[in-house]
Chains A and B, each alone.
Chain A
Amino acid sequence: AQKVTQAQTEISVVEKEDVTLDCVYETRDTTYYLFWYKQPPSGELVFLIRRNSFDEQNEISGRYSWNFQKSTSSFNFTITASQVVDSAVYFCALSDYGGATNKLIFGTGTLLAVQP
């Protein structure tokens, strides 16, 4: 069965601090996708990144970076120099690769509060 675990329920940091959100996943599939979404207080789900299982290159996008470690089944997300606008719930998610039933399995989310 597929499962995503985000052990950090809430994280509070002060602006300009770096913060890492952890994500550990379980799947028996050899190919799969991993995602991160941001959900601000307004409620929409904002896509941040999709990574497929055969691409273990780390990715950096501005202040955001992702570390994919297949050996430990982890896909961690780091925000550098956090800002108040980063305050949101962040979800890690997993889906099958290919096929017509690519439903997302979400973790329980991490609430990030960035204090000014």
Chain B
Amino acid sequence: AAGVIQSPRHLIKEKRETATLKCYPIPRHDTVYWYQQGPGQDPQFLISFYEKMQSDKGSIPDRFSAQQFSDYHSELNMSSLELGDSALYFCASSRVEGTHGYTFGSGTRLTVV
């Protein structure tokens, strides 16, 4: 079965640089979520999109932005990177109706140096 695809798997950036993370949800899933997991922390909700519109917003810094495109894939753009942005970034997708499957991708490990 198709899973949630995230790219890249690993990313190393320098401070003040920009990073773009991509997420391809499971086909027919209409909702995408982004989570940030710092070292030794639990995942924290950043933002979600339902049918290409932002549906909820969590503790996402103003330096971050995200969108969902017409093919339902989503991108998380992170600018002016700081050392504290080093984390695992997970994307998850679900379908509002039906069995409410909630599947996570393998994550992108971002290291800011």
Contact = CB atoms under 8 A, between A and B. Distances in A.
A100 B29 CA distance: 12
B100 interface: yes
Interface of A: 33, 35, 37, 43-45, 47, 50, 91, 95, 98-109
A107 B42 contact: yes
A40 to B, nearest CB: 12
Contacts of B51: 100
B107 interface: yes
B87 to A, nearest CB: 11
Contact of B102 (A44, A50, A98, A108): A50
Contacts of A99: 96
Interface residues on B, range: 20 to 34
B42 A100 contact: no
B58 A102 contact: no
A103 B50 contact: no
Contact of A108 (B42, B88, B90, B100): B42
B43 A106 contact: yes
Contacts of B42: 91, 106-109
Contact of A91 (B31, B43, B100): B43
A47 B103 contact: yes
B86 interface: no
